[in-house]
């Protein structure tokens, strides 16, 4: 899959599987039941995110922001590529950031 198609694919998955969109309150996550039900989609999303986000660790969910835009909530290794301590934290990436990727660009 070419990177310029990632936005379309992520958005299509988001639209077709609305259970993966969840506005968490703090440390809330998708239920294990939903994760199991959508395992294949989560694996595909994870492959796209691994290819575009340095330090990507785990997809958590899609999220609707206050302005109506969609983001991808992930766990990310902030010390990726450094000699610092291993630190995993949450990140929210605007889905629009995937629109103009080409084969040599990462978020």
Q: Has residue 107 been placed in a domain?
A: no
Helix/strand/coil (H/E/C) assignment for every residue in 60-87: EEEEECCCCCEEEEEEEECCCCCCCCCC
Q: Has residue 104 been placed in a domain?
A: no
Does residue 42 contact residue 20 with C-beta atoms inside 8 Å? yes
Mean pLDDT of the chain: 90
Q: How many domains does the chain have?
A: 1
Q: Has residue 87 been placed in a domain?
A: yes
pLDDT digits (tens, 9 = 90+) for 41-80: 999 999 999 999 988 999 999 999 999 999 999 999 877 6
Q: Is the pTM of this model over 0.85?
A: yes
pLDDT of the residue at 107: 75
Q: Has residue 48 been placed in a domain?
A: yes
Q: Has residue 21 been placed in a domain?
A: yes
Q: What domain range is 90 assigned to?
A: 3-98
């Amino acid at each position: 899959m070419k990177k310029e198609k990632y936005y379309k694919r992520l958005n299509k998955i988001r639209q077709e599987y609305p259970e993966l969109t969840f506005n968490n309150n703090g440390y809330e996550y998708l239920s294990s039941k939903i994760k199991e039900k959508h395992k294949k989609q989560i694996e595909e999303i994870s492959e796209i995110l691994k290819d575009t986000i340095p330090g990507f660790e785990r997809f958590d969910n899609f999220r609707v922001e206050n302005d109506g835009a969609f983001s991808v909530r992930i766990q990310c290794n902030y010390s990726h590529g450094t000699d610092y301590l291993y630190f995993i934290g949450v990140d929210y990436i605007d889905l629009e950031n995937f629109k103009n990727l080409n084969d040599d660009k990462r978020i």
